[in-house]
């Protein structure tokens, strides 16, 4: 074979060899699109996001659709049917972040059904990132979001009346995984391991991150936060770098659990930075969990935080302080719930 012919043949076969390597290498070809969500309720969230992703839609639209799905579900663990603060008022926190590091957030928002969409509106139409309380509500109404009644759902009313008898606040591990509105009964989710005799139910969060067919990442979080919190308390969920962080060069992460602990370590930013250093999503989440536990090992036994992360290859992973954190994954390869590894 002369040199010219050899070069010609090499040019033809090189792409074929590269393609073969990427299939054999399994993760060299990114798994995309893909969406991952906290908790087993993430299955419904992922289905809503997949409607967008499977049509080659943008990850940003997918994560908004996923979060809205939870906010729309009656008697669900996030949104206006969530449990109130100690003054009997439901306040919502949410954020969203796209592939350009654009982000928007709301905190302490009352009487608006879709905080995630208000967060997106802030991101897309204002020079700001975070609006809170009355100002956030004013912005929402001015932008056409209907003002809802603000009345508690029947089950939230009952739970609040019960709570008022003792007026105690105690974080409950894996509270998000309790079957909603079945407090006091044995868990019936696939991994519902917790059974609270007193039926306490005080904390709800939904976070999801996705990568679309164009390899772009986005994420969203929505929550009613801790039930019976001090009026005005804001958790990690609307704080960019705590409850959610997206870096389109590296990956994205979200968190669930006791927000104060996540804020203290800038949790999801830390997870993404660990991935930037070359750690797998699971190892990055583990290192962030270790950071929380190291700070106060005794206190960590009493609380739950779980991190969930996705990298640009479509690899995902999670890690939690305690047993019981689960997450849901949807891609062309799978549609299922996974149990997170845990430290303690
Ligand atoms: N992780 C949600 C919160 O602490 O409010």
Q: What is the pLDDT of residues 212-232, one digit of tens each?
A: 999 999 999 999 998 889 999
**Residue 282 belongs to a domain:** no
Work out the mean pLDDT of the chain and round it to a whole number.
85
- How far from 136 is each of 25, 95, 143, 206, 222, CA to CA, in Å? 48, 12, 11, 20, 15
Q: What is the pLDDT of residue 174?
A: 59
Cα 96 to ligand 1 centre (Å): 15
- How far from 309 is each of 25, 135, 274, 333, CA to CA, in Å? 21, 32, 11, 18
**Residue 297 belongs to a domain:** no
**Residue 288 belongs to a domain:** no
* Share of residues in the chain with pLDDT > 70 (%): 81
**Residue 21 belongs to a domain:** no
pLDDT reading at 189 higher than 90: no
C-alpha–C-alpha distance, residues 196 and 202, integer Å: 11
C-alpha–C-alpha distance, residues 155 and 95, integer Å: 26
Which residues neighbour 187 within 8 Å (Cβ) at sequence distance 6 or greater? 177, 178, 179, 193, 194, 195
**Residue 165 belongs to a domain:** yes
Q: What is the pLDDT of residue 68?
A: 97
**Residue 55 belongs to a domain:** yes
Q: What is the pLDDT of residue 74?
A: 80
- Considering the entire predicted model, what is its pTM? 0.85
Ligand 1 lining (C-beta closer than 6 Å): 205, 223, 225-226, 235-237, 256-259
* Residue 111 C-alpha from the chain's centroid: 22
Mean pLDDT of 48-77: 93
User: What angle do helix axes 281-295 and 267-276 make, rounded to 10 degrees?
Assistant: 130
Cα 187 to ligand 1 centre (Å): 21
Cα 2 to ligand 1 centre (Å): 68
Q: Answer positive or negative: Cα dihedral of 39, 82, 112, 226.
A: negative
**Residue 210 belongs to a domain:** yes
Q: What is the pLDDT of residue 299?
A: 87
pLDDT reading at 2 higher than 80: no
pLDDT reading at 44 higher than 90: yes
Q: What is the pLDDT of residue 203?
A: 46
**Residue 4 belongs to a domain:** no
User: Going by CA atoms, what residue is nearest to atom 4 of ligand 1?
Assistant: 259
Cα 204 to ligand 1 centre (Å): 7
Pure H helices in the chain: 3-24, 42-53, 59-72, 115-125, 133-142, 154-166, 259-264, 267-276, 281-295, 297-300
Mean pLDDT of 257-275: 97
Mean pLDDT of 281-310: 94
Q: Tell me the DSSP string of 138-157.
A: HHHHHTTPPP---PPPHHHH
Q: How confident is the model at residue 201 (pLDDT cuts 50, 70, 90)?
A: very low
> Which atom of ligand 1 sits closest to the CA of residue 225?
5
> Which atom of ligand 1 sits closest to the CA of residue 229?
5
C-alpha–C-alpha distance, residues 297 and 304, integer Å: 12
Domain that holds residue 73: 31-250
> Which atom of ligand 1 sits closest to the CA of residue 243?
1
Domain count, the chain: 1
């Amino acid at each position: 074979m002369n040199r010219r012919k050899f070069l010609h043949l090499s040019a033809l076969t090189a792409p074929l060899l590269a393609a073969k390597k990427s299939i054999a290498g399994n993760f060299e070809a990114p798994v995309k699109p893909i969406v991952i969500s906290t908790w087993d309720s993430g299955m419904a969230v992922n289905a809503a996001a997949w409607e967008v992703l499977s049509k080659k839609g943008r990850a940003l639209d997918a994560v908004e659709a996923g979060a809205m799905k939870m906010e729309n579900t009656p008697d669900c663990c996030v949104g206006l049917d969530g449990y109130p603060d100690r003054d009997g008022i439901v306040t919502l926190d949410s954020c969203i972040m796209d592939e350009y590091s654009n982000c928007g957030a709301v905190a302490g928002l009352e009487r608006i059904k879709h905080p995630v969409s208000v967060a997106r509106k802030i991101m897309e139409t204002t020079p700001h990132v975070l609006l809170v309380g009355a100002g956030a509500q004013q912005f929402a109404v001015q932008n056409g979001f209907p003002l809802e009644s603000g009345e508690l759902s029947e089950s939230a009313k009952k739970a609040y009346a019960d709570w008022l008898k003792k007026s105690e606040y105690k974080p409950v591990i894996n509270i998000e995984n309790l079957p909603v509105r079945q407090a006091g009964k044995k868990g019936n989710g696939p991994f519902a391991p917790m059974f609270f005799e007193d039926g306490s139910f005080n904390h709800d969060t939904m976070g999801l991150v996705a990568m679309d067919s164009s390899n772009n990442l986005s994420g969203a979080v929505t929550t009613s936060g801790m039930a019976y919190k001090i009026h005005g308390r804001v958790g990690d969920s609307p704080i960019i770098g705590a409850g959610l962080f997206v870096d389109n060069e590296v990956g994205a992460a979200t968190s669930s659990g006791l927000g104060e602990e996540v804020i203290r370590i800038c949790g999801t930013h830390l997870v993404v930075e660990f991935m930037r250093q070359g750690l797998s999503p699971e190892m990055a989440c583990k290192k962030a969990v270790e950071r929380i536990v190291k700070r106060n090992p005794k206190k960590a036994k009493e609380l739950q935080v779980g991190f969930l992360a996705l990298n640009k290859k479509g690899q995902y992973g999670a890690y939690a302080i305690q047993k019981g954190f689960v997450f849901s994954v949807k891609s062309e390869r799978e549609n299922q719930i996974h149990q997170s590894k845990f430290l303690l």
